Amino acid sequence: MKKIWIVIFVLVALVLVMKVTVPPIEKHYVVATEQLAMFLEDKVIEGDEFDEILEDYGIDKAVAMQYLQQEEVYKSVLKFMVESMLFLEDYFVCNVGKFTYEGEVYPLTLGMFGHVFVLTDYYDEIKDTYEKYETISNQ
C-alpha cells in the first residue's frame, strides 16, 4: 500500500512540475522563427532562384544580402509571419504550436519542461517537397 502512495506522489509531483514549466507562446514564436530563417537561408537565399528574383527586379545581390543580414529587420518580418500563422493549443502539462495551411492543421512545435521542441519531421518534409519541386521545375 505504501508503494502505491509513493507512485501517486511521484506522478502528482511530475504533473505539477510539467504544468509550472509549460513555456509561453513567445518561446514558440522564437523557435519557429529560427526554423523558418534556417529554411529560407538553406533553400531560398543560397539558391539560384533568389539570384533570378533579384535580377528580375534589378536589385544588387550585395545590397539585398546586407539588408537581410540586418537581423532585427529580417527576423521581425519572419516573426510577423510566424505570429500570424502559429496558434497554441494548451494541454495542461504541455502545449503545441500549430499552423494552418490550405485548410489542414499541422503541429510544428511542442513545449514542455520549459523548452520548445521542433517537430523536425515537418521541416524535413518541407525540404523534401522543395527539392522535388526544384527537380520537377528543372525538367
Which residues partner with 16 through β-bridges?
Answer: none
The predicted pLDDT at position 35 comes to: 78
The predicted pLDDT at position 52 comes to: 72
Per-residue pLDDT of the chain (139 residues; tens, 9 = 90+): 789 999 999 999 999 999 999 999 889 888 888 877 777 666 656 666 667 767 777 777 777 767 666 666 667 777 787 888 888 888 989 999 888 777 778 788 889 999 998 886 555 666 666 666 667 666 6
The predicted pLDDT at position 71 comes to: 62
Output phi, psi for 89, to 5 deg. Answer: -110, 125
The predicted pLDDT at position 58 comes to: 74
Q: Quickly list DSSP for 69-101.
A: H-HHHHHHHHHHHHHHHEEEEE-SS-EEEEEEE
The predicted pLDDT at position 37 comes to: 75
3-state secondary structure of 59: coil
**Domain boundaries, given as residue ranges, for the chain:** 2-138
Q: How do strand 104-112 and strand 95-101 relate by DSSP bridges? A: antiparallel
The three three-digit cell numbers of residue 83, written as one number: 505570429
The predicted pLDDT at position 14 comes to: 92
Which candidate, 45, 22, 32, places its Cα nearest to that of 94?
A: 22
The predicted pLDDT at position 4 comes to: 92
Spell out the alpha helix ranges (H) of the chain. Answer: 2-20, 25-39, 48-56, 61-69, 71-85, 120-138
